[in-house]
A and B are shown apart, each in its own frame.
Chain A
Amino acid sequence: MKTKIFIALILTVSLGSCKKFLDEKPVSNLIEQNYYRNTDEVETGVIACYDGLQKVYDIEFKLTEIKADNTSGISLEGDWGAIKFFRDGSSNFFLLDFWQRSFNTIARCNLVLKYLDKVTDPVKKKYFEGEVKFIRSLMYLNLVRLYGDVPLLTASINFDDFEKFKRISKTEVYNQIKTDLRTSVDNCPASWPTAQVARVTKGASQALLAKVYLTLKEYDLAKAQLEPLIGASYKGNTYQLNPNYAAIFSTASEMSKEIVFAVRYKASANGEGNSFSYEYSNNGDARNVKASIPYQALFEPADVRKASTFNSANGLCTKFLDPTAPQRDAGNDFPLLRFADVLLMYAEVSNEIQATPDNTVLQPLNEVRIRANASPYNLNSLGSKENARALIFKERKLEFGFENQRWYDLVRMDQAATISILKAYLTETGNPGIDVPAYRLIFPIPQTEIDLSKGNLTQNPGFN
């Protein structure tokens, strides 16, 4: 009898409390169902979108600057070399990595939109929407330029919404980008308080929207977005050229007036540093990616951009140096849109709209050149519209070395021109045997993504 009482006692004590005993909730994390309930909590979701940007721009160079004619490097290993020499296959890790980071950032933006109605502060609600739509547009702009048609997600989805993995035509993706960026232009503030600098502004939205129009050759629309930014005599207003070119990239003088939008990094700050600065250095994985000899030769001797772009002794990148930072934890911001870009976009748009280049082309172009201590052009040296276009593209190449702009500039040219430029560069850098078929101007869709999509995601032509 005693035994029975004893057993009963123990069973009662134990089983009655098992349910609670087993109910363990995360201690160091939150759970989505219990979070994003108010303005402040949703704002932490917005911050997470900026974190997503850090992850994307930490590796974007592997798909863009590496592939472009600014750089050369014959002994690039593995997947690096495959991209450099137009041999990338669908199982290339970097292509998957960039795809994942981009779509992860898109999902973060969509998560904010999902909980946007929990934001009670109407001003912040407007800002948040503008910011995340800017970031989402930026991701789609990259994806559509690098992979062609891509799945277009404007809201959070379930992992088994296979239909949503279908690729959407570039035109539709661009339409969504334009719609979103117009919202950002309307919603975002002209500036942020000092402690918030780095967040999306109205000016950044205008500049990015202009870049989208420019890419689509919608020059009038582009011009309309650029005009409020360029200011009187092309001197800018909110955004201006930094008289010291090197200072734009120095960790000592970040977020200068030149910066329209930058992805910010910080060394030794709990993992907020970038790795590209180290990868480009003499110890990094991309140490064999150097300014190509023809690229080095493009600079005038007095051009201050030369020394701020690469080391003439060995061709290594000098633009993002943070020598006192730990390995792969450097503080250099990545400048995504800066005033020089606004000026050069304006010069290009102006040139395309008119029959012959005039001062509206010459002056913004010369602003950039004079700041760099390069000899200014005059209307004669600009010559024809075609010649001026070539000079503007060349200027972009000189101005934005290692800033991941060159590949995107190459692919918005006439396709035949792009291919002939790339072939000439490959020959000049000692690789005449490498073919550049037109289909290789975009990347293959990562194979694992296709394998998991139940047939909804298809491969780009040419990539088996």
Chain B
Amino acid sequence: MNAKVYFKSILLAVLCCFLSKQQVYAQTKVTVQGIVKTSDGAALPGASAKVKNSKQGTVTDPSGGFTLSVEPGQVLEINYLGYQPQSYTAAKSETIHITLLEIQNTMETVVVIGYGTQKKSSVTGSVAKLNNDNLNQIPVARADQALAGKLAGVQIQTTDATVGAAPVIKIRGAASITAGTNPLIVIDGYPVPTDLSAVDMNNVQSIEVLKDAASAAIYGSRGANGVILITTKSGKDGKTVFGFNNATGFKSVYRRLDFPSLSQWADHVKSVNNGKLSPEILAAQKFDVPTDPQDIVFQTGLFQNTQVNLSGGSPTVKYYVSGEALYDKGVILKNDYKRYGGQANIDITPNKKWKIGISLTPSYTAQNTPAYKLHDLLRSFATWLPLYATDTIAKYTGLPVGAIVNQRAFDPSTNPKYKGINLSATANNNGYTNLAGIENTTYTYKTLANANVQYNFSDALSLKVSGGAFISNSRTEFFQKSWATRDPNLQGSAVAQASTKGTLANTQTVDLLNENILNYTKSFGKHDLNVIAGFTVQSTKISNSNSAATNFATDDIPTLNAGTLSALSSTEEHNALASALFRANYAYDNKYLISIGSRWDGSSRFGANNKWGYFPSASLGWRISNEDFYTKGAFVNDLKIRASYGATGNNNIGNYKAYANVNTVGAILGDATTLGFNSSFYDNPNLGWERSFSFNGGVDMAFLKNRFTLTVDAYKSTTKDLLFILPINTITGSSGVWVNSGEVQNQGLEFELNAKIIDHSNLKWNVSANGATNKNKVNNIGNSNTIISVGDPKRPNYFIAKVGSPLVQFYGYEYDSDIQVGGNYWPTNVHSDRIIARDINGDGVVNDQDRVVLGQPSPKFTWGLTNNLKYKNIDLSFVLQGSHGASVFNADPNYYETQFSATGTSAYLSLPTALQAKTKYKTESRYAIEDASFIVLRNVNIGYTFSDRVMKTIKASNLRIYVSAANLWYKFAKGYSSYNPEGVNEYTDDPLKNGYQRGAAPVTRNITFGVNANF
């Protein structure tokens, strides 16, 4: 049915509920009046006060008070989420004061588990939690960047280090080949079709990651890559708190590379060429102004972030509102990111039957991205040429003094005014004009709006109906001026005007969600039961439009009206997901824990015969330390073992893939474009869910009265019926067909250790450490046992997917020896683009049969170590992070060694014929495979919290200033030769070509000063 009708009927159903009457309990024995407060004296409304082993109970009113009439001797239990429960045995009518202490012990922490919460001690799956204790003090532009190194088995890789770009998040390895490997992002219960840029870290209360299938199965078809749950802050009853956060800092490139200057190169040539220099080198010496291209392309980055928030409320209405402005300027010219965002969370509890929540998260971002990657920017400069023409350069080239210099001014065939020997080694303009002459900006407006109504039928049973919308509008404007890619001496010509280009791309996403969840929570005797059941529907509509123009009449008008329209198109797609879900958590005597879940998902993306998928899960836990036989006060004071098994799915394949789509194509008939329709696809009405079946076993332990806690998890996950574009013979006219075929397996081990090493009132030292291993293996990939994929055909390199091995491995030739460059040794730093490769099978020739596996791009072990130290008013925290065992295909040397010049590519021609036949491109060999391991001091944060005395004088409740440094120390692996080992920035949408880097933006060192204040 259509969504409108659907949502209307839900509304109707909710109204019906309002009409039902409230029930009242009353019984007279003794009257206990209680006032519940927190340790800092604030009233705690909404806490539950229950009579043990009975149905009787209530919740505290706005001032924290409650009144219960009970029989003498009955036990009252006072509970509030996140606080240690207290009990009180009633004896007579009196007023009691109860102070609930916040739970410090991590085992008692409450974790969000998807459609509900649970105590960490009762969790039977694998859920990692991160409280925003100081995440918002890590000054990053995006919430996801703050998570790096914090969670075991959650890999946050900054594949694109330009500002504003999203990192790649992988939870427990890649489980899919063609369907995406991104985890599902859920913001305050709303599974959003976007990334984490939709939230501001300052507004985040906590982040939970559902890692194993049993916990993620409640998100069924979208849970296979794990689920990240974001909970934003909400207001508390009490006086209004005004918060102010500001951070301001600078960024610089962490590591710079050495590009030999002309004089260094001349010295090198003399040493290998009997003291002789080539005519090119001699000619270039006339113009030599030693120039480091990095000085031109890089800039000092800036970071400014201001956030204000207001929170508070009354017993019935609580609110949290915030506004934020961010400016992040990258270290590459023309790279910056602006963000303006807000958050409004309002909770209304008119009485104990009703609870209403409304949240609104609007944001606006503007992201300027360099149109060229770093390798293209840097290689186009010559280290002997300044950016602007000197007198000498002007004299020989005819350029005006001070004009931007391109190497092409030194090529007599492109610059007739230059009469000397050709010194130009590139057909490109220099990187400065490539940056300065191009505008490439994406403006995105996102709003997440969510409202929910909860009705409590009784203390145990409630229904929550929520409806929400995520709307995103993104617009990318691109304009290339006539001098960006064409020489100055062509300016004004038709050729230069033809190189102008403008594009405009719009994408609008409208996503609607309705969820209806029943929750039943009941404790009777030693039994604790929580059951949820419900159904949800979600639909998405995506509209795209693209237009392009060229031949702009002027460089001064960037909008398409000033050019000749060259392309125009718009498309639209829809998808819908309907689900029913169920989960029961049961605990007996807080010792034996069991959780059973099921989700049925129907997706419009699949074939008519296979739209519905079923995702069951079960998990068990045993709290051994609660057994009678367990010695109280033992070294291990809390011990739980757990095991889970479940199925999750993946429908991340784009829309309409089950159909044999007929696409529009065009041909020129007469003089006009004539539209045709072509079908190059096979349909697959059986196309269905990709399912991961995974087993997780874990232990949660606390030692020495909760001073140390340790969680260890082992998992094995097998993804079957992979949604996969099965490569087929292109003889068929098609290169692939969407099928469910193939199998990938991931297994690994994870641990998280938290330790309170020192816990005095003046000195505190907490350490948390995490580590994870993952091993990925392909069990089946369809019709063949191996798939070899090729990267860029100009610089060929190979990836192999092979049954029994990791999904992606680098494949190619073993390096034997270098080839020397001779001749004119021009341009500077010229090397051969080939090496002599090893004849592995000894058959006398080096051919395809001599290729071997050269490495793989996934880390074998990742770890993080967080330290928090506090001495009186001074606090220090730092995060160390490491990744080991991954390799990267690095194309950069191929550009920086100027191998694309004639001398470099023909160097092998001077070899004897037999040796020539053994040459292979460096990119095809081990030469290009580098160790991507690293250890980094991700963040250091030193803060000072002002004393109460100072705060009182300025009427602040909290005031802290800090200085923070990101990537203060970064240890690159030996042999890694570029700027950023995590920067695998090519073929990011093709998992079979993972691990390729070319011109990745550099790791930056950021120093930031900040202040957090609450009034």
Chain A residues packing against B (C-beta within 8 Å): 2-3, 6-7, 9-11, 13-15, 17-18, 20-33, 35, 41, 44-54, 74-81, 89-94, 96, 99-100, 103-104, 106-108, 110-111, 151, 153, 156-161, 164-165, 194-199, 264-272, 282-283, 285, 287-288, 313-314, 323-327, 329, 430-431, 433, 435, 447-449, 451-454, 457, 464
Contacts and interface: CB of A to CB of B under 8 A. Distances in A.
B10 interface: yes
Given A48-B678, A89-B847, A100-B730, A270 B683 contact: no
Contacts of A268: 550-551, 564-567
6 contacts: A21-B604, A26-B656, A91-B848, A282-B414, A283-B485, A329-B566
B731 A45 contact: no
A291 B806 CA distance: 47
A286 B294 CA distance: 29
Contact of B602 (A18, A89, A198, A431): A18
Contact of A75 (B3, B567, B901): B901
B668 A264 contact: yes
A26 B667 contact: no
A76 B498 contact: no
Given A11-B535, A45-B677, A157-B732, A266 B659 contact: no
Given A45-B676, A77-B794, A452-B784, A270 B905 contact: no
A81 to B, nearest CB: 7
A46 B665 CA distance: 11
A308 to B, nearest CB: 19
B758 interface: no
Nearest to B833: A77
B738 to A, nearest CB: 11
A32 B567 contact: no
Interface of B is mostly: mixed
A110 B905 CA distance: 43
Interface string B818-853: 000000000000000100000000000001110000
Contacts of B573: 26-28
B91 interface: no
Given A266-B671, A453-B729, A10 B535 contact: yes
Which of A75, A92, A108, A449 has the most C-beta atoms of chain B within 10 angstroms of its own C-beta?
Answer: A75
B795 A433 contact: no
B576 A21 contact: yes
Interface stretch (B13-21, B189-197, B332-340): B13-21
B207 to A, nearest CB: 31
Given A93-B790, A106-B733, A457-B729, A30 B537 contact: no
Contacts of B683: 31-33
**What 5 A-B pairs come out closest when comparing CB atoms?**
A107-B733, A47-B676, A268-B566, A93-B793, A48-B678
Given A33-B683, A198-B669, A108 B678 contact: yes
Contacts of B605: 24
Interface string B610-622: 0100000000000
Contact of B672 (A11, A74, A108, A195): A195
Contacts of B728: 159-160, 452
Given A3-B457, A268-B567, 18 more contacts: A7-B518, A10-B535, A22-B577, A29-B663, A46-B676, A47-B666, A48-B665, A75-B901, A78-B921, A89-B848, A91-B790, A91-B798, A93-B790, A103-B733, A104-B734, A272-B667, A324-B551, A451-B787
A416 to B, nearest CB: 21
B729 A449 contact: yes
B274 interface: no
A122 to B, nearest CB: 22
Given A29-B656, A323-B494, A452-B727, A272 B669 contact: no
Given A153-B731, A266-B673, A448-B788, A433 B494 contact: no
A165 B661 CA distance: 24
B785 to A, nearest CB: 8
Interface of B: 1, 3, 6, 9-10, 13, 16-17, 20, 413-414, 427-428, 457, 461, 463, 485, 494-495, 497-499, 501, 516, 518, 535, 537, 539, 550-551, 564-578, 602-605, 611, 655-656, 659-683, 726-735, 737, 783-784, 786-788, 790, 792-796, 798, 833, 847-849, 900-902, 904-906, 909, 913, 916, 921, 923
A205 to B, nearest CB: 18
A27 B666 contact: no
B760 to A, nearest CB: 53
Given A21-B576, A24-B574, A94 B668 contact: no
B794 A159 contact: no
B666 A270 contact: yes
Nearest to A27: B572
Contacts of B564: 268
Contacts of A35: 662, 677, 679
Contact of A21 (B537, B570, B655, B671): B537
Which of B427, B661, B787, B793 lies at the interface centre, i.e. has the most chain A CB atoms within 10 A of its CB?
Answer: B793
A433 B913 contact: yes
Nearest to B611: A22
B666 A159 contact: no
Given A75-B905, A324-B495, A22 B669 contact: no
Contacts of A91: 788, 790, 796, 798, 848
A31 B413 contact: no
B679 A44 contact: no
Contact of B6 (A17, A270, A448): A17
A22 B671 contact: no
B909 to A, nearest CB: 7
A433 B913 CA distance: 6
Contacts of A110: 733
B566 A47 contact: no
Nearest to A74: B906
Nearest to A99: B730
Contacts of A313: 413
A31 B657 CA distance: 11
B661 A20 contact: no
- Residue among A7, A29, A313, A329 with the highest chain B CB neighbour number at 10 A: A29
A10 B574 contact: no
Contacts of B916: 433
B676 A104 contact: no
A27 B571 CA distance: 8
Contacts of B672: 195
A268 B10 CA distance: 50
A323 B672 CA distance: 20
B677 A41 contact: yes
A78 B796 contact: yes
A3 B731 contact: no
A14 B737 CA distance: 33
B793 A24 contact: no
B1 A431 contact: no
Contacts of A7: 518
A29 B675 CA distance: 13
B578 A22 contact: yes
A50 B660 contact: no
Contacts of B413: 313-314
Nearest to A62: B793
B733 A196 contact: no
Nearest to A109: B733
Nearest to A93: B793
B13 A9 contact: yes
Contacts of A285: 794
